[in-house]
């Protein structure tokens, strides 16, 4: 079954025995819970579009392992074209859901783990890459949604993992056995965890020798014994419990994050891809982060397309579409959004083949992409709020609009352009609210800041990748200052 249908995906989730807590209660059926369901619908769209011949080129790929047609989210990038299609696919899904569709993390994780395990085996003589490819074949054959898990709670940031007051603040190997390892700890901010079949865990940062037990990478079923989830709150999330759809803003789609806890979870050796090889932890973190920062040049742009469209509609419904300052603000929003897309395409176009054969993006440009993502969506959201007007956050509820007595009052006084029903105006304003302040803001505005690493993390990588010494040599050559060996001879002659 290389390509699951949307219905098969939903049914496969129902077969899982996930332990999920939401607002202090154990959820009986995550798939059917009104707060969780929209996020499942977003993942479901990744399966639906893969079945549509119109989107086959973007949504599917040919497995280099089996030759079968598979979902692109299960694919290892085999060319620059694959890297570019990934970004285009993500923009498409952002446009279709206006939310986080959650499978990017697993796709970025498998591509990073592939090249790093290959190089690890080459240097150390381990068998991790062989194990990983067996897992990948199963992932492709079953069309699994895999959650890539990297971020640990971290506790006291001034201390390394082995010096934390509580060792479980970083995921670590608690016990090594002849048949596998036992894991304790937690992963925070886990996008799409509750909608996943498997979890692919990676170290959260570069580890040193004293932190070898924390340099661990493995795969586990999402419902493995000892794993449980605490569902994250989102702004306005309880609106989904009210039964209406206008006030939700985006009733059908959404995203989610969760705290994923590992309470003495057993992992057989066949699913372990790093265990103590701390010298390779940095490469794994760097490559995963690079791939994921590339992703934001696609998914955030697609959601941005929806937000720009909503702002333009709000201007029309307000009767302000012809105002020059409104036109200028929309142009600025488009300019910022397309700049993000250009960065995502650029780091893909400059990609290159790693030793394993999998293609890696240009890490410098990927970090530039994400650095822009930490800024531009905030400005796009600000401009959308500006165009929408104050009614976006002072508007009465859908219940008021539907009320037999005051509904006519709401209808009368909240109308903008006479030819546009008040309900349409309310719907588009709630959509903008959802994208900038509500549940979707988690996957658009706030995630743009902290997802795939904080802004400072990208600046560190930009510094490392920028080759400043080369730029200085270029300036010397143009200015007539001796470079290289000539410079050394000239300095020696002056002494």
Q: Give the ranges where 51-146 is alpha helix by DSSP (H).
A: 56-59, 80-97, 104-124, 128-142
Active-site position among 217, 275, 299, 369: 299
Buried/exposed code over 179-195 (b: 16+ C-beta within 10 A; e: otherwise)? ebbbbbbbbbbbbbbbb
Handedness of CA 168, 459, 360, 258 (dihedral sign): positive
Active-site position among 117, 229, 231, 257: 257
- Residue list for the binding site: 191
Which value, to the nearest 10 degrees, does the dihedral of the CA atoms of residues 219, 365, 359, 449 take? 20
DSSP letter (8 states) at residue 445: I
CATH class, 284-464 region:
mainly alpha
Task: Locate 352 and state its tokens.
Answer: 């290159």
**How many Cα atoms are found within 13 Å in the side-chain-facing hemisphere of 395?**
28
Q: Strand, helix or coil at 146?
A: strand
What is 9-281's CATH number?
Answer: 2.40.110.10
Active-site position among 292, 369, 374, 439: 292
Task: Locate 398 and state its tokens.
Answer: 């859908």
* Total-model pTM: 0.95
HEC string of 168-207 equals: HHCCEEEEEECCEEEEEEEECCCCCHHHCCEEEECCCCCC
Task: Locate 33 and state its tokens.
Answer: 């819970």
225 catalytic per annotation: no
Active-site position among 60, 97, 191, 204: 191
Q: Strand, helix or coil at 7?
A: helix
100 catalytic per annotation: yes
279 catalytic per annotation: no
Q: Considering the chain, tell me which residue range(s) the CATH 1.20.140.10 domain(s) occupy.
A: 284-464
Contacts of 41 (CB under 8 A, 6+ apart): 97, 252, 253, 254
pLDDT digit of tens for each residue in the chain (495 aa)?
Answer: 689 999 999 999 999 999 999 999 999 999 999 999 999 999 999 999 999 999 999 999 999 999 999 999 999 999 999 999 999 999 999 999 999 999 999 999 999 999 999 999 999 999 999 999 999 999 999 999 999 999 999 999 999 999 999 999 999 999 999 999 999 999 999 999 999 999 999 999 999 999 999 999 999 999 999 999 999 999 999 999 999 999 999 999 999 999 999 999 999 999 999 999 999 999 999 999 999 999 999 999 999 999 999 999 999 999 999 999 999 999 999 999 999 999 999 999 999 999 999 999 999 999 999 999 999 999 999 999 999 999 999 999 999 999 999 999 999 999 999 999 999 999 999 999 999 999 888 889 888 998 889 899 999 999 999 999 999 999 999 999 998 766 666 656 666
74 catalytic per annotation: no
Beta pairing class for 20-22 and 25-26: antiparallel
Give the model's pLDDT for residue 239.
96
Q: Please state, in angstroms and rounded to a whole number, the distance separating the CA atoms of residues 162 and 214.
A: 8
104 catalytic per annotation: yes
Give the model's pLDDT for residue 304.
98
Task: Locate 263 and state its tokens.
Answer: 């309470």
Which one, of 402, 357, 260, 299, lies nearest residue 89 by Cα?
299
296 catalytic per annotation: yes
- Residue list for the binding site for FAD: 191
Give the model's pLDDT for residue 483.
87
Q: Considering the chain, tell me which residue range(s) the CATH 2.40.110.10 domain(s) occupy.
A: 9-281
Cα 414 to Cα 204, 383, 385: the distances in Å are: 49, 22, 17
């Amino acid at each position: 079954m290389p390509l699951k249908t949307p219905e098969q995906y939903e049914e496969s989730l129902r077969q899982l025995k996930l332990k999920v807590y939401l607002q202090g209660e154990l959820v009986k059926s995550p798939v059917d819970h009104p707060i969780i369901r929209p996020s499942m619908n977003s993942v479901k769209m990744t399966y639906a579009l893969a079945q549509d011949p119109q989107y086959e080129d973007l949504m599917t790929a040919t497995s280099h392992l089996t030759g079968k047609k598979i979902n692109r989210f299960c694919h290892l990038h085999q060319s620059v074209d694959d890297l570019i299609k990934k970004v285009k696919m993500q923009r498409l899904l952002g446009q279709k859901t206006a939310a986080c569709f959650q499978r990017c993390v697993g796709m970025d994780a498998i591509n990073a783990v592939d090249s790093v395990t290959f190089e690890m085996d080459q240097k150390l003589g381990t068998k991790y890459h062989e194990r990983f490819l067996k897992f990948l074949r199963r992932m492709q054959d079953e069309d699994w949604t895999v959650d890539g898990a990297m971020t640990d709670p971290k506790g006291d940031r001034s201390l390394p993992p082995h010096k934390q007051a509580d060792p479980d603040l970083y995921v670590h190997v608690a016990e090594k056995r002849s048949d596998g390892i036992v894991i304790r700890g937690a992963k925070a901010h886990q996008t799409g965890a509750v909608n996943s079949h498997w979890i692919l865990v990676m170290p959260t940062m570069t580890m040193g020798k004293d932190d070898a037990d924390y340099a661990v990478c493995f795969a586990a079923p999402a419902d493995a014994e000892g794993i449980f989830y605490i569902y994250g709150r989102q702004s306005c999330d309880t609106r989904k419990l009210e039964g209406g759809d206008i006030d939700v803003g985006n009733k059908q789609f959404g995203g989610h994050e969760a705290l994923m806890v590992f309470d003495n979870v057993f992992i057989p050796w066949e699913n372990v891809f790093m265990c103590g090889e701390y010298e390779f932890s940095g490469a794994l973190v760097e490559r995963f982060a690079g791939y994921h920062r590339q992703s934001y040049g696609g998914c955030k742009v697609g959601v941005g397309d929806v937000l720009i469209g909503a702002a333009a509609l709000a201007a029309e419904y307000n009767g302000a579409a012809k105002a020059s300052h409104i036109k200028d603000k929309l142009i600025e929003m488009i300019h910022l959004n397309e700049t993000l897309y250009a960065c995502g395409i650029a780091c893909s176009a400059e990609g290159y083949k790693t030793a394993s054969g999998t293609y890696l993006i240009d890490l410098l440009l990927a970090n530039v992409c994400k650095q822009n993502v930490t800024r531009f969506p905030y400005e796009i959201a600000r401009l959308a709020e500006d165009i929408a007007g104050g009614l976006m956050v002072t508007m009465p509820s859908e219940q008021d609009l539907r009320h037999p007595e005051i509904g006519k009052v709401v209808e009368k006084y909240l109308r903008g352009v006479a030819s546009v029903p008040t309900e349409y105006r309310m719907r588009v304003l709630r959509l903008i609210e959802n994208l900038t302040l509500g549940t979707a803001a988690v996957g658009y505005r706030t995630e743009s800041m902290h997802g795939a690493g904080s802004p400072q993390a990208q600046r560190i990588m930009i510094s490392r990748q920028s080759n400043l010494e080369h730029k200085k040599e270029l300036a010397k050559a143009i200015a007539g200052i001796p470079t290289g060996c000539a410079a050394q001879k000239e300095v020696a002659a002056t002494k």
